Amino acid sequence: MTSATDPSAQDFATMGIDEAMIKKFVTHFYNVVHDDEILGPYFHKQMDATWDEHLDKMCNFWSAILLKTNRFNGRPMPAHTKLTGLQQSDFLHWLITFEKSIKACCPATSVPHIMKKAHQIANSLQYGVFYRPDVMKAKYQLDE
C-alpha cells in the first residue's frame, strides 16, 4: 500500500473495491436510508433528482473518491447547505448507517480506509453547513 493513511486507487482495487462493489454498497446504503426515519425525509422531501439518478450520482461520487475515476463533477456543498432542518447529529447517524453498509458489503480490510474518506467528507460538509462566517460577521458586526 502506498500509504497506511491514504490508499491509492490501486490499493483500493487490491482490497477488492471496484465499480461493482461500489454499486453494491451505494445501493445497500440507500436502500437503508430510504426507510430511515432520520435520513429518509431529507431525500424524499428535498432531493432534486429521482432516486435512480441520485444512486447513479453517488456511485460516480464514490468511484471518484476511491478509484480516482473523475466520474463525478458535481458540487456536494450547495446540495447540503440548502437542506432544511438538518442537524449536526444527522451526520453522525449518516456515518453510523454508512459504516454498517460498508461492513455488510465490502472486504474488512477496506472498511477503515473507506470510513476515513467518509469521515473527511462528513467533516467537510458539517463545516460548510454549520460554520457560517458570514452569519457570524453580521450577527456580531465584525469588521473584516
N-to-C CA span, the chain: 45
Mean pLDDT comparison of 54-68, 70-84, 125-139, highest-scoring range: 54-68
Average pLDDT of the chain is 83
Of the candidate CATH numbers 3.40.50.20, 3.40.1000.10, 1.10.490.10, 3.30.390.10, the domain formed by 9-140 belongs to 1.10.490.10
Per-residue confidence at 139, pLDDT binned at 50, 70, 90? Answer: very low
Taking each continuous run of H as one helix and of E as one strand, the counts in the chain are 8, 0
Percent share of the chain, pLDDT over 90: 45
Cβ pair 27, 56 in contact under 8 A: no
Per-residue confidence at 5, pLDDT binned at 50, 70, 90? Answer: low
Q: How far is CA 28 from the centre of its chain?
A: 14
Domains of the chain: which residue ranges? Answer: 9-140
Query: Could you give the dihedral angle defined by the CA atoms of residues 143, 78, 115 and 67, in that order, rounded to the nearest 10 degrees?
Result: -120
